[in-house]
């Protein structure tokens, strides 16, 4: 039993180390030797857990997805419980994005999506991330009575990724402007 737990702990440590390296230095930093050293394990242990770089990157992205979906589900349930109006939802999304913005983890996510454009092994995992965000957006938009929620959900997710990319690329530190942009997409008060 303890051996199985150690394997899970080692595997998770490898994945978290991989995400950290990607977030700090980019995918090119992910070599077996660098990951093993940073995770405090032997090279053989790394290759025991992950047969290829593709598998390591895919599993790191899937770990990110699982945790992100749990956070998004909790956020969605909180919105349902409170029944805020559209302006409050936009402000809550801006606050949520600003508070949950782990720069390294977000950069790792963006790097993995870019890698998926060139690596078919990562494309399904990348698509899962987008579906998870879109599912949450659809639920929130439907809860608010916004017409054509699935079409608008794509725009909401694109807006959030675009604003994150802009923020990171320009050295911005917060999510200001997200609420106003969301209201524009859903036709809220600021868009009139």
pLDDT, tens only, 61-98: 888 888 887 887 888 788 778 878 878 877 877 777 77
38 within a domain of the structure (yes/no): no
113 within a domain of the structure (yes/no): yes
This prediction has a pTM of 0.76
72 within a domain of the structure (yes/no): yes
**At 101, is the pLDDT very low, low, confident or very high (cuts 50, 70, 90)?**
low
45 within a domain of the structure (yes/no): no
Name the residue range of residue 161's domain. 54-191
Domains held by the chain: number: 1
What three-state secondary structure class fits 50? Answer: coil
Q: What pLDDT score was predicted for residue 155?
A: 87
Q: What is the pLDDT of residues 28-67, one digit of tens each?
A: 889 999 999 999 999 999 999 999 988 998 899 888 888 8
20 within a domain of the structure (yes/no): no
22 within a domain of the structure (yes/no): no
H helices present in the chain, as ranges: 2-25, 32-39, 43-49, 53-82, 86-99, 103-116, 120-143, 149-170, 178-186
CA–CA separation, 84 vs 88, rounded Å? 6
Residue holding tokens 């150690």? 6
| 36-75 core/surface letters (b: 16 or more CB in 10 A; e: else) | bebbebeeebbeebbeebeebbbbbbbbbbeebbeebeeb
- The CATH number of the domain holding residue 159 is 1.10.357.10
Residue holding tokens 């790097």? 111
Q: What pLDDT score was predicted for residue 140?
A: 75
């Amino acid at each position: 039993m303890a051996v199985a737990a150690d394997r899970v702990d080692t595997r998770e440590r490898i994945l978290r180390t991989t995400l950290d390296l990607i977030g700090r230095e980019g995918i090119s930093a992910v070599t077996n030797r660098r990951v093993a050293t940073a995770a405090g394990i032997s090279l053989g242990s790394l290759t025991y857990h992950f047969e290829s770089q593709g598998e390591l990157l895919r599993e790191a992205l899937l770990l990110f997805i699982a945790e992100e979906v749990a956070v998004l589900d909790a956020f969605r349930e909180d919105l349902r419980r409170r029944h805020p109006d559209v302006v409050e939802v936009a402000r809550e999304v801006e606050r949520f994005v600003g508070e949950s913005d782990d720069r390294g983890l977000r950069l790792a996510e963006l790097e993995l999506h870019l890698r998926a454009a060139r690596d078919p092994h990562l494309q399904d995992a990348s698509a899962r991330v987008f579906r998870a965000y879109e599912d949450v957006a659809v639920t929130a938009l439907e809860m608010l009575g916004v017409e054509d929620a699935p079409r608008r959900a794509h725009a909401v997710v694109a807006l959030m990724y675009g604003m994150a990319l802009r923020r990171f690329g320009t050295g911005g530190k917060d999510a200001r402007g997200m609420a106003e942009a969301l209201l524009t997409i859903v036709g809220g008060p600021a868009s009139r």
